[in-house]
Structure 1
């Protein structure tokens, strides 16, 4: 049993509301259960309750046991002075407030049906991948679609926190934020943090000034990553190394040390050398990239903007000193889709919030054009009858699994609430 179940019972009056009696044998009539704000302080604010012959307006606190009132120190906390009713599952002690006022207690388990408790316990089964895996496909489509929209924007809010932190670090420079975000996502899961460190080490003003020569951008990225530290006979390697140390001198930069980038377990097209070159080509091709990305409203226009390839040297190399068959190495459709999901939509969302504008429908429409992701979470939902037509569906399912199912937060989830209501 968890307190959030008691919150659910109280909020939706999922108990016998007639003939309620306090532990002090006074009748209770609930006029208004109060507002469940999930803030610090009492659980429900502005409730209206008749206890005995007195009508009260105030707050309601909910605990599994009466003694939890003292465990949490509420008797010393002024925020709990206006509690008019203490709702508990088990009553094990009398409760007194800060001014030694006895607080009425309602023992909820005396008024909840065994069916309701059994449904809750079944839903919270720890043995399943998700608690509702046998029932989720039966959820009304209207309920599920509305919940997906909520999940989508929750996920964007979480991603935006990282963007707002970058804004603080870059003195509100959106171009610099975009560069950091792109670098992180060009590095994918394995090299994302290392790529981000590199982007943070390089003032974006320098990237902007040197963007007219792709070799200089490659020198800065590869040099900061440590990939130019060795001694090689490769002519292009030597050229980049000379450029890198010249740029360090030109801009009075200290030689930066970051986490090493990884080649291991990557397909060659995802080698950091190739991703650095593609990122350099993108900034060589587009100045003022942020303003262009913010204006994008269709997947087709994004594909056109991000139509860049690795530079000439990397068309027949994956690493220095090792020649390979010639291949242009453009950004693939699947890679651009990842950038749409993890860079373009989050930064458009964060920017619109800062500017006080709303692009909500545009963002959903944009993600509806992107192919669904393929991973173990999506495959598992598919086995339960929940299919994904696009990236909007997959992003919401990932949010559902990570933030609700994994946390057993069924009573904060529209699916769990609907199942309990139906049962």
Structure 2
């Protein structure tokens, strides 16, 4: 049966091999006092191991390979980083290895020491023909404590990875958290389809310019629609004409250049999601809430956070329009509950976490995780698959963690790096 070096690491780390009468391949008595710490960076696989060989106890590193000859194939013979390896652990000892001083590298062969049942379960897990995830037949049997601990860990992993984009943008904005939040919030107002033009619009219109017009809704709307490229050409209605007049003046005053209008997508979208409507909502939010990030950092309750987005009032023109100069049946253009939760999930939670991590303020990190527990779980193909496998998804905390589990572990069959996979493989 097939297996990988990761499997050997797993067997060694958890001592899942027959340890009776251990000896090196040269016959010396062997006692493993500590397998060492698993090293996922450059260097030996397990560091600070403690092993007695014969009458001598050694402290150093252990290196693992499927075959002894892999030591040479991987270039360890001439690499000084491996001079302090005290034990070479292999599945198959096919080649004796010697140090520069002529002494043989102590080797432990595990070929006949790994339980057949463990080998079989690993093979079925990683090399089986499962259609959804490798452990689809077993994941529902994992106890709730193990599952919740692992989901918490990988949720933090997910947020840490996503926060890297926030910190990169923060550096480009010279440490300005408010400007960075404004740009990310704008991008998320585009809800994937129009995220790019929304982001480009925000970057072309710095928040400090909008702040100078914080008491004038028409000027803020003019700046946002103008920079979005929607105020070119002839207008018929009084409202867009007024916006156009304001924008032409402000554009010259601040030497602004609008983005290309063709970047915006309307095709196959519900009118409620048209970029013009989203821009109107974004303009209303900017007008009604200066220093948005400061407000977000102050709000502790999910209900109050939702109210920040639900209480925005767009210009009355949009009650009977989805696009300029095209009247439509009257309808509310306020943000829906699902859209608000999506904005909180993708912007507010991310920034609370990033802000707390970057400034080492655990309070904000905890608030981000708590907020996820109060947002309904997302429904998509991945979460639906997990539900069908018997898992309960109670909130966005769970759904976000399961997205990370699927995309970063299950899809790459990293079962031996996954708390769920380790639990399933471990002998009872």
Distance (whole Å) between structure 2 residues aligned to residue 322 and residue 11 of structure 1:
67
What is the CA-CA distance between 1:417 and the residue it aligns to? 0.9
**The one of 6, 9, 29 aligned to 2:8:** 6
C-alpha distance in structure 2 between counterparts of 1:357 and 1:328, whole Å: 40
Name the counterpart of 1:260.
Answer: 263
Which whole-Å deviations, capped at 9, do the CAs of 1:123-146 have from their partners, x for residues lacking one?
112433111111111111111111
Hey, what's the Cα distance between the residues in 2 that align with 1:258 and 1:319? 13
Distance 1:201 1:218 in 2: 15
Alignment partner of 1:332 is 2:333: no
Distance in 1 (CA, whole Å) between partners of 2:111 and 2:414 is: 21
Q: Aligned residue for 1:37?
A: 39
Structure 1 counterpart of 2:287: 284
**Greater mean deviation of Cα atoms: 204-213 or 377-386:** 204-213
SS at match of 1:20: coil
Structure 2 counterpart of 1:199, from 186, 199, 202: 202
SS for the counterpart of 1:57 is strand
Give yes or no for the alignment of 1:366 onto 2:367: no
Aligned to 1:161: 164
Contact kept? 2:201, 2:258, Cα under 8 Å: no
C-alpha spacing 1:70/1:309, structure 2 compared with 1 (3 Å) = farther
Change (3 A) 1:402 1:139: same
2: CA distance, partners of 1:259 / 1:65: 59
Q: 1:81 to 1:218 in 2, by over 3 A?
A: farther
70-79 vs 44-53, which deviates more? 70-79
- Cα deviation, 1:335-372, whole Å, max 9, x if unaligned, reads 11111211111111111223322134433332222112
Q: CA deviation at 1:303?
A: 1.5
8 Å CA contact retained: 1:225, 1:260: no
Task: Write out per-residue CA displacement over residues 352-394 of structure 1, whole angstroms, 9 at most, x where no aligned residue.
Answer: 2233221344333322221121111111111111121221121
Question: Which ranges of structure 2 fall in alignment gaps of 5 or more residues?
Answer: none
Cα distance change, pair 106–216 in 1 and its aligned pair in 2 (3 A) = farther
Specify the alignment match of 2:404 in structure 1: 399
How many aligned residue pairs are there? 423
Q: 1:258 to 1:402 in 2, by over 3 A?
A: farther
Q: Secondary structure at the match of 2:57?
A: strand
Query: For the Cα contact (< 8 Å) 1:74–1:97, is it kept in 2?
Result: no
**Equivalence map 1:317-396=2 (5 Å):** 317-359=321-363, 360-396=365-401
Aligned pair 1:94/2:99, yes or no? no
Which of 278, 303, 306 pairs up with 2:306? 303
* Aligned mates of 1:259, 1:91 — CA distance in 2: 64
